Structure 1
Amino acid sequence: MKVSDIMTTDVVTIRSSATVAKAATLMRQKGVHALVVERTDELDAYGIVAIGDIVGQVIAFGRDPNQIRVYEIMSKPCVVLNPSLRVEYAARLLTQSNLHSAPVIQSELLGILSVSDILERGSSIENPRELLLVGEIEALSEAAELVCEDKGPNSTACAQAWARVDALQAELAHQHSVSLDHVASELFYEDYPEAFVDREYDAWCSG
């Protein structure tokens, strides 16, 4: 599942010159926790003002929201998301950046994604990426063995097939924050050391 599958396309925006009081009113009226701050021109960056900015920088200090402008408390440039990004990576980026929401941009503003969207609209609870990766690794490993049996263990097709398995193993290990002692291709080539040597020699000769 990608960001574009669960993002909110009806984005509420505000000008940077608007008062914080207007921003707070707009948030209450629209039932949102963040507003995207409009650009001044096509080369300008988008900004974002969140409920936490209002509470933490204005209300917490007893400041008058009618005297404070959005540009004084907004984040600009802000963290943005690509619509084709996997939801898991978007979740990681938001939480690591301590953000509730981020605009979705690809040349232009397409939507906004929040951690609430990820929980409520995503499928990661029912279909965690971890289980999908395990299944994909098993399927690709079986396919790689068939390719190598058909094309030969020292063939380019065989190496490419195992490279795909290695990539998924690395992704799974990254999600778990663990180290891999061996990837699938290394275990495979332990049974075909001559093929591994040939591949290393070809790589060295090609520079």
Structure 2
Amino acid sequence: MRSIGIYLAAGESKRMGNDKRFLLLNEQPLGSIVFKNALLSKIDHLVVVTRISDSLEWLPSFVFSAPYSCKWSQIECAEASKGQGHSLKSGVKKAIEIGADAVIILLADQPFVTTEVINTLLNSYQNEPNYFFFAAANDILPMPPILFSKICFPYLLQLNGDQGLRTVIREKLFNSGKMIAFQDEMLFFDIDTVEDYEILQNHEHERGE
């Protein structure tokens, strides 16, 4: 099974007011944390979806050198400003081009998604390939990261505007997938606003005490 990660990093950070990928968490740019965890996982290749002319300065320098540089590639989405659905489609199209049997959708602003979480989704699909998707679950709600088998690709390619993954699952695939409950409640925490970032900093400070 060839698994491709799709790393969505093309958002405009409008609610934050500045590029949240550069926000520091434990002295690391926020956008680089899950990126590194994905590179260390069992994913075969990672497709990073960005806006046009993204400098990638939010990524650590080591990922541009061997052996890591061959494990990822960048896709620039000209329609990223029209909504996440367009970024998703760009990533899925690239994944299909490089022979994906499954994709895992990852968000650049979810810093608590670990290599172990990613590998759990991959292992689950390898053990039970009849399911169309595997989703991390917050109670009964599917949340990223989410693995989709290639049978789901046509549905993902139909997304537009701000339509997201839950739209596909709720309207097309709900009874065809499996939810996986993770114990860490912070797994699903994403950073959209200054208040979110303050909560994140306080959480990390308390954990370090």
- Greater RCO (CA < 8 Å, at least 6 residues apart): 2
Q: Counting strand residues as a fraction of each chain, which structure ranks higher?
A: 2
Q: Counting helix residues as a fraction of each chain, which structure ranks higher?
A: 1
Pairwise TM-score range, normalised by the shorter structure? under 0.3
TM-score (norm 2): 0.23
TM-score (norm 1): 0.23
